[in-house]
Structure 1
Amino acid sequence: MSRFLWRAAAVGAIVAAVVALLVGPYRAQLVATAAGSRAPSRAAPCLPGTGVAIMDSPHISVARAASVRYNSDPPTSGPHFPFVAAVGIYTAPLPDGLTVHALEHGHVVIHYPPATAPATVRLLRDVQRRFPADTLLVPRPGLRSITLTAWGRIDRLPRYDEARIVRFVTALRGRYDHHWTRPDGC
């Protein structure tokens, strides 16, 4: 009899936890995490960078990622992996499926060409360390310039410009996290 009660209690606890997650404060995050995001584009000419149309952003497998075509390079929205890259400094390129998911969580990605001068990479690392909870710093083959991305926005810098990078990060970090989190700011 005690084995039955133990199993019933365990099943009851699991059911209660699932119900709490589905109706509690994490419901929106769980639903979005399971399905990816759909959001209308937001024209915001006062914000830094250039707006890019928001693509449907479902979760995809790593195998399917090879067939995805984004509407910007680097991408600012679109299909992505169901798991996300942590914020921080990367010394090797990341797949688009990871960086797009980071954008979907409100992070800003600072991309740089692998041939960027070491002194400039050090400056970019310093900027990332100023915003450790909000940014990823990633080398990206094929780029000709430092490029900043946030959900639905992109900015290509002709050269290192700390003030411009900080303005982009400050204005766009957390603006989108599976849905628009605040007005466009204009």
Structure 2
Amino acid sequence: MAPGRGSRKKPAAERRPAVPERSAAAARRRGYQRRSKWQPIGLRVAVVAGLVVGVLLLANAAGLLRPSAGVVMPDLGRGHVPEGSAITYDSVPPTSGSHYAAKVAPWGSYTARIEDPVVVHNLEHGGIAIAYDGIDEATVKQLDGLLTTFPRSRYGNRVKLVIHPDDRLAAGEIVLTAWARMDRLAGYDEARIRAFYEAHLDRCCESVP
């Protein structure tokens, strides 16, 4: 006897058993666990990235990321002492330390070396010193020309440069100093001098002309 219509086999899709609700819940839990596993890593990456950005911003504000910002020197403090006091510095020329309380060199170019405690006071006022030895007259004139072409201080509208010879340096050497910064040049390099000047102008330590 031929099978009746009621005995016809159901399609495979109709015979597939339903997925229990607990299996679906387990799948959702596994998905949540996978997401939770990566969340702490993402948080740590975000924190580290934020710290890196913060450090870079601070370094840039301090001038450390600018070209030719110079070598960081030890900060020997800002003690003020009477003129004529004996002072020991840790570099030639010095970049920080005790200095004469009441003596500052007017910004400009000089034909004789300025005393270290005076130059250091200029650095404390946010200026830059350029010392040199054994360069020709044409190069001296190039240095002097910076007094009219470099950016002016926001305090007093002056180019805050002190330019002077220093026979303690090597012949032909030009040394740039700012507070706790130094850059030694083997010869005249206006781009490098400008970069140093712009990086450190008015960045230490007293807001004065």
**TM tier, shorter chain?**
0.5 to 0.7
Count of residues paired in the alignment:
135
Alpha carbons of structure 1 residues 150 and 166: separation in structure 2 relative to 1, 3 Å: same
- Distance, in Å, in 2 between the alignment partners of 1:60 and 1:117 is 36
Unaligned runs of 5+ in 1: 1-42, 180-186
- The one-letter amino acid paired with 1:177 is C
User: How many angstroms does 1:128 deviate by?
Assistant: 2.7
User: How many angstroms does 1:124 deviate by?
Assistant: 0.8
Partner of 1:52: 73
Alignment of 1:34-113 (within 5 A): 45-47=64-66, 48-65=69-86, 68-82=87-101, 83-113=103-133
Corresponding position: 1:138 with 2:164:
yes
Partner of 2:192: 164
Corresponding position: 1:121 with 2:140:
yes
- The one-letter amino acid paired with 1:141 is D
Partner of 2:42: none
- Distance, in Å, in 2 between the alignment partners of 1:160 and 1:130 is 16
User: How many angstroms does 1:44 deviate by?
Assistant: 6.3
In 2, are the aligned partners of 1:128 and 1:136 still within 8 Å (CA)? Answer: no
Helix, strand or coil at the partner of 1:167? helix
Partner of 2:176: 148
Given candidates 201, 206, 209, the residue that maps to 1:173 is 201
- The one-letter amino acid paired with 1:91 is T
- TM, length-normalised to structure 1: 0.67
Unaligned runs of 5+ in 2: 1-61, 151-157
In 2, are the aligned partners of 1:49 and 1:154 still within 8 Å (CA)? Answer: yes
RMSD: 1.9
- TM, length-normalised to structure 2: 0.60
Tell which structure's C-alpha radius of gyration is larger: 2
